[in-house]
Amino acid sequence: MTKNVGKFVKLFAKNMKAGKAPARYAVNGLPVTCNHCSSDLFEHGEAQLNTALLSFLDLDFANRSANILICTQCGYVHWFYNQIDRLD
C-alpha cells in the first residue's frame, strides 16, 4: 500500500514537471517560433475568453478558451484561437 502511494506521488510529480517544462509546438502544421526573438521553446497556458467585455461587444462566438504560448526566452505571449500541437 505504502509502495503504491509512493509510486502515485512520483508519477504525479513527474507529470507536474512535464507539464511545466518548455516545449516546442505547432499550429496548423507549422512549428511555432517566437514573433520577437525566434525562439521555439514555449510554456503553454489557456485563457478563458468568456469575459463581460466580449459579451458586451456582442462577440459571444469568442466565448471559449484560447491557447497561449509564452516564449521562455523573451516572454512574448502568443495567442491561438485554434488547437495547438505539442511536438516533444
How far apart are the C-alpha atoms of 53 and 30, rounded to whole Å? Answer: 32
The answer to whether residue 74 forms part of the interface with Zn ion (CB under 5 A) is yes
Q: Around Cβ 33, how many Cβ atoms within 10 Å? A: 16
Map residues 41-70 to x or -, x wherever contact with Zn ion holds by CB under 5 A. ------------------------------
Query: Please, which residue, 67 or 73, has the CB nearer to Zn ion?
Result: 73
Please identify which residue in 33, 39, 40, 49 interacts with Zn ion, judged by CB under 5 A: 39
How many residues in the chain?
88
